[in-house]
Amino acid sequence: MPAKTWNRGHARRRHAPRLLALLLTALAGLLPAAARADSMLPPGPFSTRGSQIVAADGTPVRIMGVGVFTDVSRDVARIKAAGFNTLRISWGNRRRLGDVDRIDRIVAAAGPIGLRVILDNHYNEGLRGMCVAQQKNGLWYDLGGASDGTDGCGTPGTVTDAKFVADWVAMAEHYRGNPTVIGYDLRNEPLAYPGMSTWEAGSRNPDHNIRWMYERVGRAIQAVDPDKLIICEGPQNYTRSFAGGAPAPWGDLSLAARLPVVLPTPGKVVYSVHDYPAEIAGYHPDSGPVKVAQMNRTWGYLVMQGIAPVLVGEMASNMKGPTSAAWADTLTAYMNGEAPGGPRFTPPDQPIGCVWWWAGSDDNSGEQPSGIWDAEGRLRADQRAVWRKLLPR
């Protein structure tokens, strides 16, 4: 809010205390975590222990991230002031070198103020349609193998499985030894429709078996950079889970306990799901006890049984109505260990971490969630009311 200009000295003196109090109150609301040093993460490397992500000294930490796909190097201070401690930065294979330049600028700005970075392979081509956000062919490559030679959105493919592995190795070599970069999210939102990604034992069905891809890419990364977290997303499955149960639209990790991702350097695998309300994802139910039961079966059991940590790698809503509020109440309670029938956490263990999508300021009035800032650069109060419940404790 711009300050009012006063013309008289006595009026300025009389109103100054009240204005200062109002300003401090407003700032306290806008910057809920600015004074909370414990909300920030220490430098990497990080590891896993049971359901927890832990710092080098074994202290459990909670990732409170925000998604990034533009150059926010000039915005890192206000991202930190809002309470976020991590940036999940997208990159694509087709534009990898240009993306690295952008990521380098963000990492250089973020590191000195304590923000940490996760790199997210978001797409192969990312040029048009749905494939900018979620590659429609459901795989991690778009040339050769099980692909039809495109990314599913009409763009000819340029990324073979071998190139996908090589590109991740190049990223790992580039950020090796950089303590600001703490993890690699190997593939954004794989899909489990017929002919797409599966979760199978060993090297079976290599053109589709994303669990096997995670192991192959994870091993190749660890050969050059064993310190980073390796984040493995469950394929989104809107019909029936891999274990034969209810659908897993957030990410199907129903077989991850039986068929885990195993890497040479242990204690580095973090599983991940994405969760949006029905207004965005189109799936019901998106709240209430039925959803809690489905989350338990398809990914929450990994946390509840102390098998592995799970990161909610994307979540967001424009929070425009009661159904969105119900979605948010269910999910935040579940992640915080407060949902009936859901996971529980005993200090010093931290609840489930997340990434809010996204660090932007557009005024999108459609189905997709707007950024965290409005057109005037103010935090969107309806969104902030949700993600502030997920700050580290």
Candidate from 7-16, 38-47, 87-96, 271-280 with smallest mean pLDDT: 7-16
Q: Is residue 37 part of a domain?
A: no
pLDDT of res. 262: 98
| Sign of the dihedral defined by the CA atoms of residues 148, 151, 157, 158, in that order | negative
pLDDT of res. 17: 36
pLDDT of res. 362: 76
> Are 20 and 111 contained in the same domain?
no
Reply yes or no on whether the pLDDT at 14 is more than 80: no
User: What's the rounded Cα separation, in Å, for the pair 87 and 181?
Assistant: 9
> Is the peptide bond prior to 373 cis by the omega test (within 30 degrees of 0)?
no
Domain with residue 268: its CATH number is 3.20.20.80
> Are 112 and 209 contained in the same domain?
yes
Mean pLDDT of 311-340: 97
> Are 146 and 100 contained in the same domain?
yes
Q: Is residue 38 part of a domain?
A: no
**Strand 64-68 with 60-61, pairing:** unpaired
Angle at the Cα of 344 (from 343 to 345), degrees rounded to 5? Answer: 130
Reply yes or no on whether the pLDDT at 322 is more than 80: yes
Q: Tell me which residue of 242, 245, 268 sits closest to 253, measured CA to CA.
A: 242
Q: Is residue 176 part of a domain?
A: yes
pLDDT of res. 364: 57
Reply yes or no on whether the pLDDT at 209 is more than 80: yes
How many domains is the chain partitioned into structurally? 2
The tokens describing 21, both together, are 């109090």
> Are 22 and 99 contained in the same domain?
no
Q: Is residue 375 part of a domain?
A: yes
Mean pLDDT of 297-311: 98
Q: Kindly provide the b/e burial profile for residues 25-41, where b requires at least 16 CB atoms within 10 angstroms of the residue's own CB.
A: eeeeeebbbeeeeebbb
Pick the residue with more confidence: 116 or 21? 116
> Are 181 and 92 contained in the same domain?
yes
Q: Is residue 345 part of a domain?
A: yes
Q: Give the percent of the chain with pLDDT over 70.
A: 89
pLDDT of res. 44: 81
pLDDT of res. 6: 21
> Are 299 and 329 contained in the same domain?
yes
Mean pLDDT of 68-78: 97
Q: Is residue 114 part of a domain?
A: yes
Residue-wise pLDDT tens digits, 151-173: 999 999 999 999 999 999 999 99
Domain that holds residue 2: 1-30
pLDDT of res. 367: 64
User: What's the rounded Cα separation, in Å, for the pair 283 and 276?
Assistant: 9
> Are 232 and 352 contained in the same domain?
yes
Contacts of 174 (CB under 8 A, 6+ apart): 100
> Are 21 and 58 contained in the same domain?
no
Q: Tell me which residue of 63, 38, 36, 37 sits closest to 48, measured CA to CA.
A: 63
Q: Is residue 295 part of a domain?
A: yes
Going by pLDDT thresholds of 50, 70 and 90, the confidence category of residue 369 is confident
Reply yes or no on whether the pLDDT at 7 is more than 70: no
> Are 13 and 111 contained in the same domain?
no
Reply yes or no on whether the pLDDT at 325 is more than 90: yes
State the alpha helices, DSSP H only, in the chain: 9-30, 76-82, 96-110, 161-175, 210-224, 278-281, 288-295, 301-304, 322-335, 381-387
> Are 137 and 111 contained in the same domain?
yes
> Are 72 and 216 contained in the same domain?
yes
Q: Give the percent of the chain with pLDDT over 90.
A: 85
Reply yes or no on whether the pLDDT at 11 is more than 50: no
pLDDT of res. 10: 28
> Are 66 and 164 contained in the same domain?
yes
pLDDT of res. 74: 97
User: What's the rounded Cα separation, in Å, for the pair 316 and 328?
Assistant: 9
Residue-wise pLDDT tens digits, 244-302: 989 999 999 999 999 999 999 999 999 999 999 999 999 999 999 999 999 999 999 99
Mean pLDDT of 73-99: 97
Q: Is residue 189 part of a domain?
A: yes
pLDDT of res. 20: 35
pLDDT of res. 366: 59
